[in-house]
Each structure stands twice: as C-alpha cells, then as structure tokens.
C-alpha cells in the first residue's frame, strides 16, 4: 500500500476495504445500538454516549463510544482482517484499540457538525499516549455513502506537519460545524480544506495531529453513519485494550474484557 498521502497530507482514503455484502448487517447493528443509546436503560459502564441538543433543545444522540465491548458485530468490524492489514502495515504487529465510536448524523439535522480538532488533544495524559505523531492512527469506516453535503469528513491538508496542538474540550467538538470561521479562529487557512467522498465500506485514515471535522448533514434524505477506530502501537500506549499481539488478533467480546 502506498502511504504517501497519509504521510504528505495527513489523511488518506482507502477504497473498498469492507465488502458491500457486509454493510447491511453493520447498518442494522448501528441502528440497534442507536436505539440502545437513546433509551433509558442503564448501559455497560465501558460505553459512553455522545449527546448534544437540536436547535429546538431536544436531546440528540450523536455517537456511542466503545460499543465493541458489547457487540460482537462491531468487535468483528474493529478486528476485520482488511482493517488489520492496514493497521499492522502502519503500526506494526502489536496494537491497542484506544477507542471506537459510532457516529450518527440524521438527514437534515442542522446541529450535527463536529468542530475542527486534532485527536491528539484528547489523548491525555501525554505520559500514557506517547509519540503520538508516529504511534497513532485514526480510521473511519463509511457505513453510508458520504460527502460534504451529508456531513462527511473535512481535513486540513498538511496540518499534521506543523508542531502545534490546538487544545479543545472534547464535548465542545459536538457543538461546532467545521466551518471556515472555526479555522480562522485557529489561525488556519480554509484554502487547504478537503472534503472527502466515501462509498460504504471505504476507509479514511488520519494522523493524531491532522486537523479535521465534519459539517452538519444538509442533505434531505441521506443519513450518514460512520464507525471510527483509534489505534496505537501497544508499546507507546498505556490505555485501551489489545487488538493485536504479535500480529494475532484479540477479540474483546469473546474474553468479556
Ligand atoms: O466522523 C466524524 O464526523 C468525526 C470523526 C472524528 O472527528 C474523529 O473520530 O476524530
């Protein structure tokens, strides 16, 4: 795999990673988990629901973190062989999963943007997440087709190369819209923004310092569901769970971790 885009631009699209026939079951599971996240029943303590509000003040469930602990289907996606190949090519044979997230952006929901940020800002303390520029990879799997209109990811090309971290509160990310004013406030130029287009099963991956975000879903009829995995070289990370040890995958749901 040629990784020059990841190295030069800070992000790279890898098309057709998950076969199309596997997508319907993943969508069904994402929808089932959304119902769980929206409900009032107590959740497994390892899960975290990402919430914000619609413009009229109603509760809006935006995402669910770490569902690989409770869903064999999501854990299977986290450890999908095609994703394992990408991760091991970049991070080596010993890899930890730091975090997984499912993101939901319903069609036409104006309060569904994610502010520009760098994942490195959330991987604290630095003593537990070492050498992030080299040891970290974030990867998103498109479950629906996505582009700028339905809230697909926007990246600031080359932003990973500057030795600068823009600190932002994690919850505040759910209140942004990845618009030009956010970038200007960060002292960055909107000229370098690239909105990626993905088909279901495509992957986009990026670096811990790559500035990225996503706009609201402005389409009228295209939901946007996405699954992300934050991974690190195991030797540089004291958090998360093992995904691969000496190249052998370690499932989370089988061992009940
Ligand atoms: O998928 C999105 O809209 C945002 C994902 C993201 O920013 C992240 O995983 O860091």
* 185-233 pLDDT tens trace: 999 999 999 999 999 999 999 999 999 999 999 999 999 999 999 999 9
Q: Output the furthest CA–CA distance in the chain (Å, rounded).
A: 50
Residue 257 has pLDDT above 80, yes or no: no
Q: Is the CB of 11 under 6 A from ligand 1?
A: no
Q: Is the CB of 114 under 6 A from ligand 1?
A: yes
pLDDT tens figures, 96-130: 999 999 999 999 999 999 999 999 999 999 999 99
Domain range for 26 is 4-255
Q: Which residue has the higher pLDDT, 166 or 71?
A: 71
Residue 255 has pLDDT above 70, yes or no: no
The pTM of this model reads: 0.96
Q: Is the CB of 226 under 6 A from ligand 1?
A: yes
Give me the pLDDT at residue 162, please: 82
Q: Return the minimum-mean-pLDDT range out of 24-38, 44-58, 155-169, 239-253.
A: 155-169
The mean pLDDT of 131-149, rounded to a whole number, is 98
Q: Which among 179, 212, 231 is the best mutation to test ligand 1's pocket, defined by most ligand atoms within 8 Å of the CB?
A: 212
Give me the pLDDT at residue 200, please: 98
The mean pLDDT of 87-94, rounded to a whole number, is 98
Banded model confidence at residue 164, pLDDT cuts 50, 70, 90: confident
Q: How far apart are CA 182 and CA 188, in angstroms?
A: 9
Q: Which of 80, 84, 103 is nearest to 30 (CA)?
A: 103
Q: Which of 109, 144, 146 is nearest to 220 (CA)?
A: 109
Q: What does the mean pLDDT of the chain come to?
A: 95
Question: CATH no. for residue 110?
Answer: 2.60.120.620
Q: Which among 63, 100, 114, 216 is the best mutation to test ligand 1's pocket, defined by most ligand atoms within 8 Å of the CB?
A: 114
Residue 170 has pLDDT above 80, yes or no: no
Give me the pLDDT at residue 256, please: 44
The mean pLDDT of 1-7, rounded to a whole number, is 96
Q: How many domains, the chain?
A: 1
56 CA → ligand 1 middle, Å: 24
Q: Which among 138, 141, 171 is the best mutation to test ligand 1's pocket, defined by most ligand atoms within 8 Å of the CB?
A: 138
Q: Confirm if 186 and 116 have CB atoms less than 8 A apart.
A: yes
152 CA → ligand 1 middle, Å: 9
The mean pLDDT of 49-58, rounded to a whole number, is 94
114 CA → ligand 1 middle, Å: 7
Q: Is the CB of 65 under 6 A from ligand 1?
A: no
Q: Is the CB of 119 under 6 A from ligand 1?
A: yes
Q: Which residue has the higher pLDDT, 196 or 55?
A: 196
Chain centre to alpha carbon of residue 249: 20
């Amino acid at each position: 795999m040629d990784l020059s885009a990841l190295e030069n631009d800070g992000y790279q699209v890898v098309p057709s990673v998950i076969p199309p026939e596997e997508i319907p079951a993943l969508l069904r599971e994402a929808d089932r988990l959304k119902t769980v996240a929206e409900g009032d029943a107590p959740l497994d303590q390892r899960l975290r629901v990402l919430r914000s509000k619609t413009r009229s003040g109603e509760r809006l469930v935006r995402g669910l973190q770490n569902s690989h602990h409770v869903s064999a289907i999501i854990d299977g996606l986290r450890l999908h062989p095609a994703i394992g190949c990408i991760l091991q090519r970049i991070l080596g044979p010993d890899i930890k999963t730091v975090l997984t997230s499912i993101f939901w952006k319903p069609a036409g929901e104006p309060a569904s943007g994610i502010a520009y940020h760098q994942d490195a800002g959330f991987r604290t303390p630095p003593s537990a997440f070492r050498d992030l520029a080299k040891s970290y990879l974030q990867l998103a799997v498109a479950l629906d087709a996505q582009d700028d209109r339905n809230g697909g990811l926007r990246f600031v090309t080359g932003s990973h190369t500057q030795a600068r971290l823009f600190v932002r509160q994690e919850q505040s990310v759910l209140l942004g819209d990845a618009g030009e004013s956010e970038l200007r406030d960060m002292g960055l130029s909107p000229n370098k923004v690239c909105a990626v287009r993905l088909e279901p099963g495509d992957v986009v991956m990026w670096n811990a310092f790559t500035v990225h975000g996503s706009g609201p879903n402005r389409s009228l009829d295209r939901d946007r569901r996405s699954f992300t995995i934050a991974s690190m070289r195991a030797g540089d990370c004291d958090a998360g769970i093992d995904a691969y040890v000496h190249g052998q995958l370690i499932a989370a749901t089988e061992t009940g971790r």
